[in-house]
Amino acid sequence: MPSHNNRKMQAFQKLFQKNFHKFTNYTKNQKAFTIFLFVFAAVLLICPLAKLESSNLNGSAEHFWFIGTTFFRSMIIVFASMIFLLWWNMNTRFKGFVVNYLGFRESEPMLNFIFLWVIASTFMGILDTLGMVAPATQSASLAWWGWLMLILLVIGIIISFIEVWKGADKNSQRTKVLNIVDEEAPKKPESKRVLKHLFDVEEEEDVEE
């Protein structure tokens, strides 16, 4: 039994060292975005999103977590997007699978931004619903941790947008030095020979006349 636990511990240490070594090779923005993903996922799992204050609760508030039946449909969309982002940014095999079968290699920052935008759109639907219910009930509102989720989400969008901006600027500089060559156009030496041949034929005709 102890040997089995030791093998588990060694496998965990090996996996941790592998991911940590991978993390150290990231750029500053990639490191910040990866840290954001883990912190945001932890907040979604642990912290409540909304609260309901009512006189029936004797002044206390009932909290609603993102995991549960209340936000079930939104939870599926958000966590599916989060799982994709975590695998895409941390798992080399998964990234290789996506690149080989779907592409996206040159647009990696754009893919991060798109999935965060999907998550943000889901949160906007929840906020609109709470905004509609709050004036009627005077009790339903976004919890303090819910505001923290939104702040973290905005930070992640900013980080991913900076990466998209850098990639776009790099690609624009690359396209400025491209030379477009028309392979079907006649080459200059050949065109000169054709013109010379035409003039030679005209001179021969003048001599015969």
User: Residue 139 in contact with residue 132, Cβ under 8 Å?
Assistant: no
Residue showing tokens 């080399």? 92
Q: How far apart are CA 196 and CA 204, in angstroms?
A: 12
pLDDT of residue 177: 44
How far is the C-alpha of 176 from the C-alpha of 84, rounded, in Å?
A: 34
The beta strand positions in 3-86, using DSSP E, are: 48-53, 61-65
| CA distance to 128, 190, 193, 199, 202, per residue, from 207 (Å) | 92, 26, 21, 13, 9
For 2-180, CATH number? 1.20.140
Residue in this structure with the two tokens 């947008």, named with its chain if needed: 161
Among 44-48, 74-78, 147-151, 170-174, where is mean pLDDT lowest? 170-174
User: Which tokens sit at 78?
Assistant: 């958000």
Per the prediction, the chain carries an average pLDDT of 75
What is the reported pTM? 0.65
* Tens-place pLDDT, residues 119-130: 999 998 888 888
pLDDT over 80 at 115, yes or no: yes
Measure the CA–CA gap between 198 and 155, rounded to whole angstroms: 70
pLDDT tens for 46-95 read 988 888 776 555 667 788 888 888 888 888 999 999 999 988 888 778 87
- Categorize the per-residue pLDDT at 14 as very low, low, confident or very high, splitting at 50, 70 and 90: confident
Count of other CB atoms within 10 angstroms of residue 52: 16
Q: What is the pLDDT of residue 130?
A: 82
Counting residues of the chain whose pLDDT is more than 90, the rounded percentage is 16
